[in-house]
């Protein structure tokens, strides 16, 4: 066989081998994988399907999952590929996405977007990060299915850099006024002192990640006639302020209330809506 013809045949054979390699299962394994996410009309639940080999197919599957589960006014949120996606939800049910190859970074992005757009903060992840593609551990892939509400709050709190500050001030009459839930200490105090009904107010204290009991004796007015006590437990704070009032005034008619400020209290706390008694 002429040398030139032999070389041409070898080149053709090499080309066939290359084409066969591109069509092999190993090549298909390198294709992108996708996940799809949907929610109901009130953003109360999150539905997801993964892995899929196409973004639109993933969205359609997530939408079908929402409808199958009885969701009302189901709608697609997004598709994602070879990464992690998660949504954070605020107190008015708005949703904010976070996407990254890192599960933790995806969660951090979602919480950051949520808190930046939510005056009262109060953002929480709707699920653990949903991950699809190569390189994710079994724990990463199973986390959204196994997560408890406590798990979601734990990760949400760890990603949440927002603070929740409160302030107490005393009016000229001795009455106490309060403001809480502010992202910065100075904001809590300045907003309180600038209120129209806080003329002549003086700062008593600022607090975060704690509760403050406020107590006073009925019928007694003037500066220095109200009392406060700090404690992470709302009942303990309220009781301590009442005890301080009784000890200082000798009055059996001391009444007390409680205010708390901190992430641990964003879902409410004992005594939040109770009047002083």
pLDDT digits (tens, 9 = 90+) for 167-202: 999 998 899 999 999 999 999 999 999 998 888 899
* pLDDT tens, position by position, 48-89: 999 999 999 999 999 999 999 999 999 999 999 999 999 999
Preceding amide of 260 cis, omega within 30: no
* pLDDT given at position 73: 97
Domain boundaries, the chain: 32-159, 165-265
| Contact predicate 87/97, CB 8 Å | yes
243 compared with 3, residue with greater pLDDT:
243
CA distances from 254 to 205, 211, 212, 247 (A): 21, 19, 16, 10
Spatial distance between the Cα atoms of 169 and 198, rounded to a whole number of angstroms? 8
Residue partners of 60: CB distance under 8 A and separation at least 6: 36
* pLDDT given at position 16: 35
Global confidence as pTM: 0.82
* pLDDT given at position 221: 82
- Per the prediction, the chain carries an average pLDDT of 90
Residue 145: pLDDT above 80? yes
Alpha helices in 23-102 (DSSP H): 25-28, 55-68
């Amino acid at each position: 066989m002429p040398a030139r013809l032999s070389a041409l045949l070898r080149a053709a054979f090499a080309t066939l081998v290359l084409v066969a390699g591109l069509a092999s299962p190993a090549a298909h394994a390198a294709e992108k994988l996708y996940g799809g996410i949907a929610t109901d009309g009130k953003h109360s639940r999150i539905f997801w399907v993964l892995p899929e080999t196409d973004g639109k197919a993933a969205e359609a599957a997530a939408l079908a999952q929402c409808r199958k589960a009885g969701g009302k006014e189901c709608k697609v949120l997004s598709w994602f590929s070879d990464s992690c996606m998660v949504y954070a939800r605020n107190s008015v049910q708005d949703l904010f996405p976070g996407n990254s190859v890192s599960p933790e970074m995806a969660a951090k992005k979602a919480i950051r977007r949520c808190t930046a757009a939510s005056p009262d903060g109060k953002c929480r992840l709707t699920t653990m990060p949903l991950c699809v593609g190569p390189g994710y551990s079994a724990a990463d892939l199973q986390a959204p299915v196994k997560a408890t509400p406590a798990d979601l709050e734990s990760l949400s709190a760890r990603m949440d850099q927002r603070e929740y500050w409160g302030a107490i001030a005393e009016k000229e009459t001795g009455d106490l006024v309060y403001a809480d839930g502010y992202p910065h200490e100075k904001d809590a105090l300045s907003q309180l002192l600038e209120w129209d009904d806080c003329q002549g107010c003086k700062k008593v204290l600022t607090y975060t990640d704690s509760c403050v009991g406020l107590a006073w004796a009925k019928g007694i007015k003037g500066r220095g006639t109200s009392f406060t006590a700090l404690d992470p437990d709302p009942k303990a704070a309220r009781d301590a302020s009442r005890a301080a009032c009784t000890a200082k005034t000798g009055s059996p008619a001391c009444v007390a209330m409680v205010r708390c400020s901190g992430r641990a209290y964003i879902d409410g706390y004992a005594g939040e809506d109770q009047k002083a008694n």
